[in-house]
């Protein structure tokens, strides 16, 4: 039986739940469409640090309560001088320094502004067919500085990123899938379950291999043709000599599920 643990209180703006090796993070301000606050950013920093250091958790899923992912920054807090970010880590402590382990966004409803940029900081995106995306900061006299201007062009075509940033318009899940920033589209209300299923598929694999694979894909964008295989070797060679690599081969030969140790 899969172990499930949950920590929630009425006033918590960020909730966590563990299902096996998967951490589920829920942004929990549904009445405000999960608009991000300074307090949420600080809590996210703690949660993500614990996730990264855990030997038991392999993949995280981030979602929002109340059929909305995140509508962006809490503008009332912004007027008071608050920012929903942590220095060096970005919006919700995620956009500038994502975890080294995989993280999946499960999107229902709106992922706008900082919410969209939070989604972009995730490695994979599962979206309901009714989900809506956009970086409408220009409509408020602001700029999409949490990743909309620098990360989105890496996840889609330059022309698409330019249109989204300059118009501030809202776009559909199908638009996101067509233009490369949504991986899977599911029915309304099914995004979290589908994201957890995807996370569990990833978590069943060797954690060292998964982590190294993500690292190479993320970092190789800046590698030259001449250096890419040498730099890749520095990251993946330890995987091939790990106890997990031996266990994976042994489990295959013995026709059983591998027992990973992360070593």
Choose the catalytic residue: 137, 197, 247, 254: 137
Give the H/E segment covering residue 131.
none
With b for 16 or more beta-carbon neighbours within 10 A and e for fewer, the 29-44 pattern comes to beebbbbbbbbbbbbb
- How many alpha carbons fall within 13 Å on the CB side of residue 213? 10
How far is the C-alpha of 39 from the C-alpha of 204, rounded, in Å? Answer: 33
Q: Identify whether 96 is a catalytic site residue.
A: no
- Other Cβ atoms closer than 10 A to 209: 17
Beta strands in 114-156 (DSSP E): 124-128, 132-134
Q: Identify whether 117 is a catalytic site residue.
A: yes
Choose the catalytic residue: 13, 38, 108, 117: 117
Report which DSSP code applies to 83: -
Active site residues: 117, 137
């Amino acid at each position: 039986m899969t172990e499930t643990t949950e920590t929630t209180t009425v006033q918590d703006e960020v909730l966590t739940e563990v299902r096996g090796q998967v951490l589920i993070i829920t942004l929990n301000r549904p009445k405000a469409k999960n608009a991000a606050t300074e307090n949420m950013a600080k809590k996210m920093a703690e949660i993500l640090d614990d996730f990264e250091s855990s030997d038991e958790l392999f993949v995280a899923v981030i979602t929002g309560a109340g059929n909305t992912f995140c509508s962006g920054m809490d503008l009332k807090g912004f007027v008071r001088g608050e920012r929903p970010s942590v220095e060096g880590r970005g919006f919700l402590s995620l956009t500038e320094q994502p975890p080294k382990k995989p993280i999946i966004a499960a999107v229902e409803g709106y992922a706008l502004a900082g919410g969209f940029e939070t989604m972009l900081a995730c490695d994979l995106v599962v979206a309901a067919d009714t989900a809506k995306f956009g970086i409408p900061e220009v409509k408020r006299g602001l700029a999409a500085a949490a990743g909309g201007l620098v990360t989105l062009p890496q996840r889609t075509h330059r022309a698409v990123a330019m249109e989204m940033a300059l118009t501030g318009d809202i776009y559909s899940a199908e638009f996101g899938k067509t233009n490369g920033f949504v991986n899977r589209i599911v029915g309304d209300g099914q995004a979290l379950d589908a994201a957890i299923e995807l996370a569990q598929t990833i978590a069943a694999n060797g954690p060292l291999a998964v982590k190294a694979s993500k690292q190479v894909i993320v970092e190789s964008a800046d590698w030259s043709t001449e250096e890419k295989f040498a730099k890749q070797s520095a990251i993946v060679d330890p995987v091939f000599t790990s106890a997990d690599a031996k266990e994976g081969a042994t489990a295959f030969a013995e026709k059983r599920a591998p027992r990973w140790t992360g070593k």
